[in-house]
Amino acid sequence: MTALHPFAQYVQTIARGPNLSRPLTEEEMAEATAMILDDQVDPLQLGAFLCVLRVRTEDPGETAGFVRVVKERITIPEGAPKVDLDWSSYAGKKRQLPWFLLSALLLAQNGIKVFMHGTEGHTEGRLYSREALKAIGVGHATSMEESAEHLTERNFAYLPLQYLMPKLQDIMDLKPILGVRTPINTFTRLLNPFNAPYSVQSVFHPNYGEVHREASILLGQPHMAVFKGEGGEIERRPGKPVVVESLHNGKSIDEEWPNMLPGVTVAHDEVMDVSRLLAVWQGEEDDIATAAIIGTAAIALRLMERADGPDDAEAKARAFWDNRAGTPLEIKTAA
């Protein structure tokens, strides 16, 4: 009789059917993740494992177990600056330009160190952060060390997953073969490689919000916020109300934010012209884009306890926008 492959036990546990299967414990997922990262898993096993998790929806314990093992393999460079806000970007945009990038740069311009990590190319027809940042003159980092340098120089760094953890990028690239996204898209959003005290996340499917929050509790993340963003990116949809699910030192809080543009229909961009990002920064009028930028920055300010409520957060974000420096990478100095 042929002995079971060591990884088969994890597939068995989650795939025995509705009555016998169960989620992996955090420790079991940690063991499975280590095998995946060390290339000790047959491709057929990996495909089955990923698809079962995707169909069933990732469990908070599984998410925490996966993230914990990956984080153990990420080294923060010696002397790296303290990061204030961790920002994930794994969805890409297809209906509107990625205005959230200007939100992140606006925060950086006002002294908040923002580390962004993300991916690209897993879904055809989407605009990803690396390409959009390049269009406004913001280059990406290729290592944690270079990310630390960018954070020191300009309070902002973007590190693509292919440089942060290449094996995870390889798994994301399986989407055209599997036909569906993998749970890696969920797990990577919680990586927080520089251990920032504040982490902002977004989901496309609202039921994933609580998974993120519960996993953050297991991971010991002190402060986080998650909401349904535009296209799955961390971008407030200004034409709709939104519930921001946050976590502050173990306490869960849900806060309703109102529609920023009542009576206004937010249409899809017919052409994803990335040159408009810089044009809006430089003063081109676009009420919808401006609201998205300010609204997204406001959620971050509220998360970071720099505002007393949604109205105060929006007022402060608007003041940042009205007094922004001439270029996205220009750091403002005190008057």
**Per-residue pLDDT tens digits for 273-293:** 999 999 999 999 999 999 999
Stated pTM of the model = 0.95
- Phi/psi for 199 (5° steps) reads -135, 125
pLDDT at res. 270: 77
Task: Calculate the alpha carbon distances from 60 to 31, 65, 217, 270, 276 in Å.
Answer: 16, 9, 9, 38, 39
Between CA 44 and CA 46 the distance in angstroms is: 5
**Cα torsion through 185, 191, 196, 200, rounded to 10:** 20
Query: What confidence tier does 57 reach under pLDDT thresholds 50, 70, 90?
Result: confident
User: Are the CB atoms for 200 and 85 separated by under 8 Å?
Assistant: yes
Instruction: Provide the edge-to-edge strand list for the sheet that holds 156-160.
Output: 156-160, 114-118, 85-89, 198-203, 223-228, 242-248, 251-257
- Mean pLDDT for the chain overall: 94
The average pLDDT across 251-265 equals 93
Closest CA to 96 of 248, 315, 274, 250: 274
Between CA 152 and CA 163 the distance in angstroms is: 19
pLDDT at res. 162: 96
Closest CA to 99 of 295, 264, 319, 313: 295
Q: Taking the CB of residue 153, how many other CB atoms lie within 10 A of it?
A: 12
Does domain 85-322 sit in CATH 3.90.230.10? no
pLDDT at res. 120: 86
Q: Which residue has the higher pLDDT, 300 or 124?
A: 300
H helices of 201-309, in order, are 208-219, 275-281, 287-303
Length of the chain: 335
DSSP track, 110-179: TT--EEEEE--SSSTT-B-HHHHHHHTT-PPPSSHHHHHHHHHHHSEEEEEHHHH-HHHHHHHTTHHHHS
What is the rounded radius of gyration, in angstroms, for the C-alpha atoms of the chain?
20
DSSP annotation of 99 reads T
The average pLDDT across 286-301 equals 97
pLDDT at res. 335: 42
The average pLDDT across 292-309 equals 97
Q: Which residue has the higher pLDDT, 134 or 19?
A: 134
Question: Is residue 123's pLDDT more than 80?
Answer: no
- Please state the domain extents for the chain: 8-56, 85-322
Between CA 170 and CA 246 the distance in angstroms is: 31
pLDDT at res. 1: 61
pLDDT in tens, 180-238: 888 998 999 999 999 999 999 998 877 889 999 999 999 999 999 999 999 889 999 99
pLDDT in tens, 75-96: 999 999 999 999 999 999 988 9
